[in-house]
Structure 1
Amino acid sequence: MATTRGLERLVFFTDAITAIAITLLILPLVEVVPDIAAEGGSIGVLFDGYFGQILGFLISFAVIARLWFAHHQLFEHVGAYSGRLVFLTVLWAFTIVLLPLPTALTAQLNPSPGLVAFYIGTMAASSLVLTAMSVLIRRTPDIQAADNPITPRSFAASYWVSAGFVLALILGTAIPALNYWALFVLFVTPTIGALIRRRRERG
């Protein structure tokens, strides 16, 4: 039988995994500090020689933080849990745990369609799982909090974020010169979604 305590443990589980994953992102940069110091380098060497690694860390940090916040907001609408919700939560946690790996690879290897697909694809998978959870919660009254249901606007926002990641994945792999910069499409898709929603509301 599902209990409030069980739901709290599920949330704590994902919070802990996210905290660990987001911490792991910085470790490769920490590990190069002794080498820079041994060679008599300065902080300038870190920024000049490891700029790509620093950029990858910042992007992945921002993405994981955004995905965690979306998960946090989603569970504000959860009053109970089910086996399907637990499965999707564990699947989402897997994508978060996995992300530091492609992040490390992007810092060490030149961009390639396969690597871009691995990196952005992991992010897209995480966002798609969140959208799947939104669908499950909306369609399951026993799970959704009766006093705080998911609004159509919140659901649409989740959909458009996932669509943005998928579009970035397609563009980044189909256009090699674009590679990771395709992620900037995420700044555009929510605006497009909002404009479409407003037109529908007016119509």
Structure 2
Amino acid sequence: MAVAATKEPNRLILFTDAVVAIAVTLLVLPLVDVVPEVAREHRPATEVITGHQPEIWTFLLSFAVIIRLWLSHHKAFQHVRAYSTPLVLCNSAWLLAIVVLPFPTEMVGVFDNSRFTTGLYIGTVFVATGLQAAMYLIIRIDPEVASEDTPLPGEFVLGAVTAAVLLLLALVVALTVPGVGYWALLLLLLSGPVEWAWRRRHAVAAA
């Protein structure tokens, strides 16, 4: 019998929110360091922006990625009435991926489109998304975890699994096709059509 499954999820949620907030804050630190660097070299203040656009765009992208993952996590945990050991382990691993993300983010700004940094960045996002899909599966199928009144909709699992598969494909493309780099992330735009096709196929099969 899983003792952890009898516990309220509030502490886990609050801890997760705090760690995500710290990770988001860490993203901006490399940009903060740019200011004294420009001042020491007596360059115009505008070069804080114009001379470091890759770092700025990478920051904005990573900020959007983390916030999107957190918002999805927040919505999913509204359907949790208790947490289990597998859910805690998946959540902890997911937090590790979120905390690690500022590291490849800074590397992207420094090393541009090298294959290693591209793979490290997309791979980190893939791991975070895959772990999120695993959490959603646990929340949906474990009766001791899922809310009895408002179970997790299947769309959550479908969306996370679709995103993880597309990110894995983006990782393979970025590592194997020269010159593609971060453009491979545009594959994520297919998530909407893929989910629609899956739901349509499932509806036809059930009819």
Q: TM-score range by the shorter chain?
A: over 0.9
- Code of the residue aligned with 2:127 in structure 1: it is A
Deviates more, 1:158-167 or 1:191-200: 191-200
For residue 184 of structure 1, give the secondary structure of its aligned residue in structure 2. Answer: helix
- How many residue pairs get aligned? The number is 200
Q: Which runs of 5+ in 2 are unaligned?
A: none
> TM-score w.r.t. structure 1 length?
0.92
Tell me how far apart the structure 2 counterparts of residues 52 and 192 of structure 1 sit (CA, whole Å): 31
Tell me how far apart the structure 2 counterparts of residues 88 and 68 of structure 1 sit (CA, whole Å): 14
Tell me how far apart the structure 2 counterparts of residues 95 and 64 of structure 1 sit (CA, whole Å): 10
Within 5 A, what are the aligned runs for 1:15-30? Answer: 15-30=17-32
Deviation at 1:40, TM superposition (A): 4.0
User: How far does the alpha carbon of each residue in 1:105-145 deviate from its partner, in whole angstroms, 9 at most, with x for none?
Assistant: 11111322222111100000000001111111222100000
Deviates more, 1:100-109 or 1:153-162: 153-162
For residue 76 of structure 1, give the secondary structure of its aligned residue in structure 2. Answer: helix
Tell me how far apart the structure 2 counterparts of residues 10 and 61 of structure 1 sit (CA, whole Å): 22
User: How far does the alpha carbon of each residue in 1:29-83 deviate from its partner, in whole angstroms, 9 at most, with x for none?
Assistant: 111112223414122x123211111111011111001111111111111110111
8 Å contact kept, 2:54–2:112: no
Matched residue, 1:174: 176
Matched residue, 2:199: 197
Deviates more, 1:75-84 or 1:104-113: 104-113
- Code of the residue aligned with 1:185 in structure 2: it is L
For residue 176 of structure 1, give the secondary structure of its aligned residue in structure 2. Answer: coil
Identity %: 37
Matched residue, 1:3: 7
Matched residue, 1:41: 44
8 Å contact kept, 1:21–1:97: yes
Q: Which runs of 5+ in 1 are unaligned?
A: none
Matched residue, 1:57: 59
Deviates more, 1:15-24 or 1:187-196: 187-196
Deviates more, 1:174-183 or 1:51-60: 174-183
Tell me how far apart the structure 2 counterparts of residues 173 and 77 of structure 1 sit (CA, whole Å): 37
Task: Please identify runs of 4+ aligned residues in structure 1 that moved more than 3 A.
Answer: none
Matched residue, 2:95: 93
